[in-house]
């Protein structure tokens, strides 16, 4: 076998010595560079795509009421469907507070 180990192919049948262009690109340095750059482009594209999806989940929290504008009130509401009662003890200053909803209907002042 002249220095070859068992199972090795002869040089004229090895994949790296095929003279057709696709075979040369498959094992040449140019082939490795093309495949490496394609992999880097694919990784960057996947990262940008996933980052855009995650960015859409970022939602700013709703602004709470201004503590200085909250005034004490004592208003009772009753649900017209089931009769549940609610006592509102604080509300935003200014106009009369909006009636809460219960059983998918606005509650009425009791």
pLDDT at residue 98 in the model: 87
Q: What is the pLDDT of residues 20-56, one digit of tens each?
A: 555 555 567 887 888 899 999 999 999 999 999 999 9
Number of C-beta neighbours around residue 77 at 10 A: 19
Q: What is the pLDDT of residues 42-99, one digit of tens each?
A: 999 999 999 999 999 988 888 887 888 888 888 999 999 999 999 999 888 777 788 8
Domain locations along the chain: 11-56, 67-109
| Cβ neighbours of residue 76 closer than 8 Å, sequence gap 6 or more | 85, 86, 87, 88, 109, 110
Query: Would you say residue 16 has pLDDT above 70?
Result: no
Query: Would you say residue 17 has pLDDT above 50?
Result: no
Q: How far apart are CA 110 and CA 105, in angstroms?
A: 15
Q: What is the DSSP code string of 3-31?
A: TPPTTPPPGGGSGGG--SHHHHHHHSHHH
């Amino acid at each position: 076998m002249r220095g070859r180990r068992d199972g090795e192919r002869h040089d004229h049948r090895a994949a790296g010595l095929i003279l057709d262009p696709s075979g040369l690109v498959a094992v040449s340095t140019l082939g490795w560079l093309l495949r490496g750059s394609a992999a880097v482009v694919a990784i960057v594209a996947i990262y940008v795509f996933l980052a855009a999806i995650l960015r859409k989940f970022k939602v700013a929290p709703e602004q709470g009421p201004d503590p200085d504008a909250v005034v004490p009130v004592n208003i009772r509401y009753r649900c017209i469907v089931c009769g549940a009662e609610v006592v509102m003890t604080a509300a935003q200053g200014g106009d009369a507070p909006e009636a809460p909803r219960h059983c998918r209907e606005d509650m009425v002042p009791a």
